[in-house]
Structure 1
Amino acid sequence: MREPVDLRRQRILAAVRTRGTARVRDLADELQVSVVTVRRDVEELTREGRLRRGHGVVRSTLPAEEAAAEVSAVAGDRGAAGDRVAVVVPVRHSYLNETLHGARTVLEEAGLRVALHLAPQASGAERPLVERALAAGADGLLIAPRWRGRAEEEADHEWLAALGVPTVLMERRPWRGSALHALDSVCSDHWYGAQLAVEHLVGLGHRRILFATRHDSPTARSLRAAFSGIAGEHPLVERWAWALIAPEAGADGPYSADETAELPALMRGLGATAVVLHGDVDALMVVQRMAEEAVRVPEDCSVVAYDDVVAGLGSPPLTAVSPPKTEVGRLAADLLLQRLSEAPGARPARRVELLPRLMVRGSTAPPTY
């Protein structure tokens, strides 16, 4: 039976508002309709002021928080009383949009009611949201806590481990011996992602590499450790350094002067011919600063971004390590579905790691020295 037009357009709206942007071809594949049909729907939704069109791309007209609330309401209207599955992610965290979409697709295909909860940028913000979701009747939980530092993470261990409902961590890896060690989790193997970046640059002939990461997430901490270990032990890396990609963040921790220096100056001091930058938006801003100082990419310096959310939109498009964001959400939802269908303790906890890919674009080339 053909899907009603109104329902199909609602699904298009929900998909775009979950991710912020979506390609017309991807929407057609997901809805299993022709590209022409999706374009027709998008044109109508654009006339109504509910979407914005670009070249092959559709954008939401709502701010991220309002869009997420609407998506949550649409999902909730289809279910029974109570929140069957609660999903808790940080607000303004574009990296997790694709993960959220992957999880939501699996859960809704299984006929489950989904309630999205956005945690504000404050320590301990996830706990009250989870408690309210459980009080409302949630039977399971998918969660990606913000965890800007180890102390924040440790503060959440005890209550998360004692929830009493099936829970799966997304893009978070519990450390060994912690209360969450036996919790199901699905995440990207960021060590492997760091290795992809280093080997790509070394293979092009680069021997002096600067690494710069964010400071405020478990991924940033994992990447710093990975880059330090891989570059420090690599026989072909002559010199390397790590710094904060946003120097002003140095106030949040004990960093050296070099670790909070402006990246172009640090690159010159190191003699770096390549940089690896986490994440995409900061990487694009660094490339702009480099251009202002007459540093050409990739002629004078090769650039690899880490996240691949908007890296391909740069000028030049940035080579990027692309974690399997959507697949992390899908597998996390699959794990949760299995837990919801079986007796507690029926099988051991599972910790799944998925390998990122390297998307080679125009920002990397052999050094010219």
Structure 2
Amino acid sequence: MREPVELRRQRILSVVESRGAVKVSVLAAELDVSVVTVRRDVEELSRAGRLRRGHGVARPVREPVRAARVTEVRGEGPAGDAGAVALVVPERHSYLYETLHGARSVLEESGIRIALHIAPPSAGAERPLVERALADGARGLLIAPRWPGVRSEERDHGWLADVGVPTVLMERRPRPGSALHALDSVCTDHWYGIHLAVEHLVSLGHRRIVLAARDDSPTARSIRAAFAEIAAARPEVEDWTVVLSSPEAVPGPGPDAPVATAVVPPSSPADGRAAPDLAALLRERGATGAVLHGDVDALMLVQRLAEGGVQVPRDCSVVAYDDGVAALGSPPLTAVAPPKAEIGRAAAELLLHRLSGAAGADGPVRRTELLPTLEVRGSAQEPLTP
């Protein structure tokens, strides 16, 4: 299904606001649409005063105050980054770009130079970027590895635990007992986010709930595990299941692909690796509530539900997980909102503390979790009585 125009334009705004000036050709590649389409979107957004247009470039309405030089590295890195903080995030990841923006604001306000590295979606892409940054003299590291599956995470444990400079993981929770357990980290408490979503649906009277979730990131895996734990423990929940939110919501080809599996109650069949017909699944299980991760997939799924004769919220109440574009839906989607920018800011503040040399700067490892919030809109209501 083609992505809605307003959703695509919101994604353009998010990228531009996170990075500053971005080439139209780069936006087209990241959104997987034509340059002509992006150019048309940029013209409309510029006409509406939501961004500024340059020659082949989209710019935010307000350029960020730059107390530090920001270097974006794709492949070969420039010399002269000695003393900089390396900031490594995955390519084409709007969720983590908001985290990046929060970290950048803190570092720039502190006058710290930044070497920004965008990791392509290939296995092990972060390691050579980090090694290059260290060779160039980076004195600290903020990193959000892609980690589409458990095996890719395990492959990074050894080298990432021994980089030799203060390091903070952003929006990644080291697994207990792993080599990264003793590494500083700042992330969202996704268990609490799912608790908010389930509690909201249960409080409205929903007793049969489906989670349609991604399965290609640490966040997705945390959400799936939390939902299974919470739904199984709630006596009010009579039936629950977890399925894929999208055919593309799984790790790509490679050693990670077979690791992720569906999470379902013991009496239910696994969903395999294909996203189900959600409308048919809701009818089959008699479900009246759904939690949908992430919110781009949620908007697409709500459209597919309407095509399948299931109206939101009349026939099914929906809570989206992530709140980047959920408010743009029809209806606007109630959503769990992770504090993405605050995660980046807290991670940068922790790294600055480690670099400061002040008393206690080399103190105990910190594993910080920030709580998400629930933004209540128009996509959830009491279930209709039979």
User: Do the aligned residues in 2 keep the contact of 1:318 with 1:361 (CA within 8 Å)?
Assistant: yes
Q: How does 1:118-267 map to 2 (within 5 A)?
A: 118-247=118-247, 252-253=257-258, 254-255=261-262, 257-258=270-271, 260=274, 261-267=276-282
Residues 1:330 and 2:323 are matched in the alignment: no
Alignment partner of 2:148: what SS? coil
What is the total number of aligned residue pairs between the two structures? 323
> Which residue of 266, 277, 280 corresponds with 2:292?
277
Q: TM-score, normalised by structure 1?
A: 0.80
CA distance in 2, matches of 1:314, 1:83: 44
CA distance in 2, matches of 1:220, 1:86: 26
- Describe the superposition over 1:245-281 as per-residue Cα deviations: whole angstroms up to 9, x where unpaired: 1146578335555354222221111111011011011
Alignment partner of 2:279: what SS? helix
When residues 323 and 158 of structure 1 are mapped into structure 2, their CA distance, relative to the original with a 3 A threshold, is: same
Which residue pairs with 1:291 in the alignment?
306
Residues 1:349 and 2:342 are matched in the alignment: no
CA distance in 1, matches of 2:378, 2:49: 21
Root mean square deviation of aligned Cα: 3.0
User: Do the aligned residues in 2 keep the contact of 1:119 with 1:126 (CA within 8 Å)?
Assistant: yes
CA distance in 2, matches of 1:213, 1:249: 8
Amino acid at match of 1:17: V
Which residue pairs with 1:99 in the alignment?
99
Deviation at 1:53, TM superposition (A): 3.2
Alignment partner of 1:304: what SS? strand
> Which residue of 288, 302, 307 corresponds with 2:322?
307
CA distance in 2, matches of 1:345, 1:230: 37
Which residue pairs with 2:34 in the alignment?
none
Amino acid at match of 2:384: T
- Structure 1: gaps of 5 or more residues: 1-13, 22-45, 65-70
> Which residue of 353, 359, 364 corresponds with 2:380?
364
Deviation at 1:183, TM superposition (A): 0.5
User: Do the aligned residues in 2 keep the contact of 1:102 with 1:328 (CA within 8 Å)?
Assistant: yes
Residues 1:19 and 2:18 are matched in the alignment: yes
Q: Going by fraction, where is helix more abundant, 1 or 2?
A: 1
User: Do the aligned residues in 2 keep the contact of 1:80 with 1:113 (CA within 8 Å)?
Assistant: no
User: Do the aligned residues in 2 keep the contact of 1:247 with 1:262 (CA within 8 Å)?
Assistant: no
CA distance in 2, matches of 1:112, 1:169: 18
Amino acid at match of 1:58: L
When residues 91 and 270 of structure 1 are mapped into structure 2, their CA distance, relative to the original with a 3 A threshold, is: same
User: Do the aligned residues in 1 keep the contact of 2:209 with 2:289 (CA within 8 Å)?
Assistant: yes
Q: TM-score, normalised by structure 2?
A: 0.77
Identity of aligned residues (%): 62
Which stretch shifts more, 343-352 or 356-365?
A: 343-352
Alignment partner of 2:45: what SS? strand
- Describe the superposition over 1:217-240 as per-residue Cα deviations: whole angstroms up to 9, x where unpaired: 001110111000100110111111
CA distance in 2, matches of 1:280, 1:357: 15
User: Do the aligned residues in 1 keep the contact of 2:355 with 2:361 (CA within 8 Å)?
Assistant: no
CA distance in 1, matches of 2:248, 2:369: 32
